[in-house]
Amino acid sequence: MAITITVFRLCSLLIFLSLYPSVSLSDRCNPKDKKVLLQIKKDLNNPYLLASWDPDTDCCTWYSVDCDLKTHRIISLVIKDSTIPDTNFSAQIPPSVGDLPYLESLVFHNLPNLTGSIPPAITKLTHLKSLWIFWTNLSGPVPSFLSQLKNLTFLDLSFNNLTGSIPPSLSELPNLDALHLDRNKLTGSIPDSFGSFKKVPNLYLSHNQLTGTIPASLGKLDFNIIDLSRNKLQGDASILFGSNKTTLMIDLSRNSLTFDLTKVEFPKSLTNLDLNHNNISGSLPAGLTALNLQLFNVSYNRLCGQIPVGGELQSFDIYSYFHNKCLCGSPLPACK
């Protein structure tokens, strides 16, 4: 499941980046933008990664940036260490990134020596649609001030070293398609305010240390994808389901959720359901046989009774069902 989601995320990034092909124009670069970029390069300690940023050339041709085709203002800054092995990249995100006023996309990716916290200067980027800071060594909180970036559609802060609790203000982002805060060290509970997202984002909060119960307010939302796996969440998760929803993927695995699955009604659209390693009781509802499931895992719970026959349920092996209280029937041994 985690792999599926990671691949999904990387694909979205690639698709997204391909929307901004490099442009090469005869010195059209805005002089203000060029000055700021050179400051950013300096603030990042002149990394080898930015060797192409030569003040004597058109900044619209530089590696890692893209200019708008009409205005020639910098709209995309993508700093990632992928192919060059010895970049000697060691720095913090410089506040100078806030001085590229037309930036729509800002990416820091695969930079283990990028440290420090997310600078408030980012809030100056009012046109920002995508902020991806992932696979870095960034620490400190998920800043509440990110809620000021009203045009954000993608916010990805996964695979970092962020701590503290999730700021309730993020639900004030009105255009969010996806929110990735997974693979950090976040604590506290999921904010109640998350039930008031105007547009419901794909929500990825897995691999943190989140505690408490899933707020009842989330039950009102119709998520496409929700991944809360590998936290310390407790209590009822049945509110996330419902026959009227159009949810595709729900991953709640490896928490401490305690609820009765017997009467849960599932969205017909559900393809991935991972509930392994919780404290879920009751039996498997017959409604599961109506689903076109591609991934299903209820192992390591306290379920009982016969596995319903039909649909995709017998296409999974015993490892999707083992370690329960008294589940029985194919693919597990027959009921007594």
Shortest distance, position 196 Cβ to ligand NAG, whole Å? 19
Overall residue count recorded for the chain in this entry: 336
Shortest distance, position 90 Cβ to ligand NAG, whole Å? 5
Shortest distance, position 322 Cβ to ligand NAG, whole Å? 8
Residue 262: DSSP 8-state: T
Per CB under 6 A, residues contacting ligand NAG are: 45, 48, 81, 87-90, 112-113, 115, 126-127, 137, 139, 150-151, 161, 242-244, 256, 258, 276-277, 279, 297, 299-300, 319-320
Shortest distance, position 140 Cβ to ligand NAG, whole Å? 10
> Could you tell me if 240 and 214 are in contact, meaning their C-beta atoms sit under 8 angstroms apart?
yes
Shortest distance, position 24 Cβ to ligand NAG, whole Å? 25
By beta-carbon proximity to ligand NAG, the closer residue of 256 and 292 is 256
By beta-carbon proximity to ligand NAG, the closer residue of 168 and 287 is 287
By beta-carbon proximity to ligand NAG, the closer residue of 58 and 224 is 224
Sheet holding 65-67, edge to edge: 65-67, 74-80, 105-111, 130-136, 154-156, 178-180, 202-204, 225-227, 249-251, 272-274, 295-297
Rg (CA), the chain: 23
By beta-carbon proximity to ligand NAG, the closer residue of 34 and 254 is 254
By beta-carbon proximity to ligand NAG, the closer residue of 71 and 88 is 88
Mind spelling out the 3-state secondary structure of 42-92?
Answer: HHCCCCHHHCCCCCCCCHHHCCCEEECCCCCCEEEEEEECCCCCCCCCCEE
